A = this chain, B = another copy of it.
Amino acid sequence: MLVSVFIAISLDGFIARKDGDIDWLTGDDSEESEDHGFGDFFNSVDALLMGKNTFEKVLSFGQWPYGDKKVIVASNSLKNLPEIKNANLQLINGSPGEIFTKLEKQGYKKIYLDGGNLIQSFLRDGLVDELIISIIPVLIGDGIPLFGEVNQDIKLKLVDTKSCNNGIVQTFYKVSK
């Protein structure tokens, strides 16, 4: 099972401000129609795996953005998930390794991993295969970091890099295993 991260960060490494705000992501970008390959990526995954914080942030948007794509919420505290019309939700718990094994047994082939804490813990446990990172040309100074502590250096292999007119640099890495 392939585990892929597709995420945007500020040049100083944040995925959101401390309060979860991502206003700086769009800025005064005039290229709103540009999805930086997200649509193709999203279509290529069987399911989206996110932590509780990310799930709650998504709920706060008001509109469910993932259609009927399978969305798996990893939480060791939630007992159940709210009903969301047309959403295809599943709750899962356990360590990153346990979650990985459960999902692989359920037949998933490619997972889109989202959320700072979950990405950090999956990376630390060697369970991430790919990182597609869009670097936004701004320094926000503080916020929720994409990366955290690791037990040992994690080497990556650069597969591709693209830059867009709006100054976003998208890098595609595979994790060396």
State whether the Cβ of A27 lies closer than 8 Å to any Cβ in chain B.
yes
Cα-based distance from A151 to B173 in the complex (angstroms): 32
Pairwise interchain contact A137-B149, C-beta atoms closer than 8 A: no
The verdict on A16 contacting chain B, using a C-beta distance below 8 Å, is: no
A105: shortest Cβ distance to chain B, in Å? 29
Q: Smallest distance from the beta carbon of A130 to chain B beta carbons, Å?
A: 13
Copies in the complex: 2
Out of B27, B123, B147, B158, which one reaches A137, CB within 8 Å? B158
A11 to B173, CA, bound (A): 10
Given A11-B147, A169-B171, answer yes or no on A138-B161 (Cβ-Cβ < 8 Å): no
Q: Tell me whether A135 is interfacial, beta carbon within 8 Å.
A: yes
Shortest CB-to-CB span from A157 to chain B, Å, is 6
**Complex: how many Å from CA A138 to CA B13?**
14
CA distance A152 to B11 in the complex (A): 14
Asked if A141 is at the interface of the complex by the 8 Å CB criterion, the answer is: yes
Taking the nearest CB of chain B, how far is it from the CB of A133, in angstroms? 8
Mark each residue of chain A from 115 to 158: 1 if its CB lies under 8 Å from any CB of chain B, else 0: 00000000100000000010101111110001111110111111
Sorted nearest first, the 4 A-B pairs with minimum C-beta distance are A141-B150, A158-B167, A12-B147, A137-B156
Residues of B within 8 A of A173 (CB): 11, 137, 167
Partner of A161, one of B11, B147, B149, B161: B161
| Chain B residues closer than 8 Å to A161, beta-carbon distance | 161, 163, 169
> Does A6 reach chain B (CB closer than 8 Å)?
no
The verdict on A100 contacting chain B, using a C-beta distance below 8 Å, is no
> How does the 8 Å CB contact mask read for A17-33 relative to B, with 1 for contact and 0 for none?
00000001001000000
